[in-house]
Every structure is written in structure tokens, then in C-alpha cells.
Homo-oligomer: A and B are copies of this chain.
Amino acid sequence: MPLSPKVPTPTLERLATYYTILSDLKSRQADTISSADIEERTGINAAQFRKDLSYFGEFGRPGVGYAIDELHARIGRILKLEKTQPVILVGAGNLGSALVGYPALRADNFRIVAAFDNNYNKIGKQLWDLTIRDITRLVEDNATLGARLAIIAVPVGAAQDVAERLVEAGIKNILNFAPVVLRLPRDVIVRNVDFVQELAVLSFHLPDPTTNP
């Protein structure tokens, strides 16, 4: 593994947010942006923005701000978004279908190149423009596909097995939608998206039902 700077995960999450904003501005032909504009658009304060960038060298010019094209390209390189990244999807259910059809993924250079499932009623059928593949062929198929990112969108009970197959297929960077904690070798990076967890955090912040609203 190459040495990469030790960058906090929240910084990476914010970089992705800046990238989204910059993509939008770029499409509207804007030239420069200040850290105050970034704060205005994202709610992330200007000092934090400058600190996030500081992990990666010098950016922008005092009094001038940041050239949008350049900043967009540099963050794109940092996050490895300049070239299309092939992504494997496992789980051709409702969520998997929504992900394959999700327009923003393609816009940002992630392309789901193959969808796998273990259900013989689904294997061979179409999921948008993909033919659903047999999960038992994952290792073999990825030797050709060469994906290094994968999305798990299977029920809880199947997620651990799927994750192990992905690792076996050489995929160590996994986005997991199953609400379960995967147990994998230490060098595998998993990001969990748990809808229930998100709602639970919001629910905590609801006013107490015993008080008048």
C-alpha cells in the first residue's frame, strides 16, 4: 500500500461535499469562490474548509479565493474521481435497483458495472441495463471486471457472507447498506449506511411527546 496522508474521515466527507458544490458551480461557469462562499453554501465554516484543504498542500490565493476549475480538479484527484470507478453491486432488490438507477453516481464517475444476486428468479433477468449475475461467480467475474469498490444491498442475514466473497474477489472498499456490523480483515474499509440509524438520530431530537409542542 502506498503511503497516504492520515486524513480524518470527516475531512474526506467534507471534501466530497465541496466537490459536489464545485461541480455545480463549474456547470454554471463560475470562476472563483471564497471560503466564505463555501460556508454560505455548505454551512461548514470557512476555517474548517481551509483546514480540510491544508492536508493536501497549498490552495487558493489570499484576497482572490479559489479558482473553481482548479479546486474541483484537485479535490477530484484526491478522492480519485477523475476516472470512472467501476463498482459492483450485490443485491438486486428494491434498494439495489434504486442505486443502479441513481443519476448522481454516474455523474460523479462511479459506474455500477455488474449486479449480483443469489436468487435464481433474478439471475439472468435485467436490472436497468445490467444482466443480474450469479453471486457464486463473483470471484471469477471480478477477475475480468476489475472492480475495487462494491455496494452490499442484501438482507441482514446474507451480508456477512457477501462481504467475505467480495474480499475474496479482491474488493476491500465496501459500502454496506445492511444494518449489521460486518466482521472482516482489518485492511478492509467498510462504510455503513443505516437508514434506521439515521432516523433514530433524528428521532432523538424530537421534542418530548409529554410536553406540548
Q: Taking A41-B181, A207-B1 as contacts, is the C-beta distance between A149 and B202 under 8 angstroms?
A: yes
For this chain, the copies found in one complex come to 2
Cβ A189 vs Cβ B175 within 8 A: no
Q: Taking A2-B207, A98-B94 as contacts, is the C-beta distance between A9 and B104 under 8 angstroms?
A: no
In the complex, which residue of chain B has the Cβ closest to the Cβ of A96?
B98
Taking CB atoms, residues of chain B closer than 8 Å to A99 are 195
Judge whether A58 is part of the interface by a CB distance below 8 angstroms: no
Residues of A within 8 A of B (CB): 1-2, 4, 7, 9, 12-13, 15-17, 19-21, 41-43, 78-81, 83, 85, 87, 93-95, 97-99, 101-105, 107-108, 110, 148-149, 151, 155-156, 170, 173-175, 179-181, 189, 191, 193-209, 211, 213
User: Nearest Cβ in chain B — how far from A174, in angstroms?
Assistant: 7
Taking CB atoms, residues of chain B closer than 8 Å to A98 are 93-95, 97-98
Most buried by B among A105, A174, A179: A179
User: Nearest Cβ in chain B — how far from A137, in angstroms?
Assistant: 21
User: A199 contacts which of B103, B149, B155 (Cβ < 8 Å)?
Assistant: B149
Q: Taking A102-B94, A102-B195 as contacts, is the C-beta distance between A149 and B203 under 8 angstroms?
A: yes
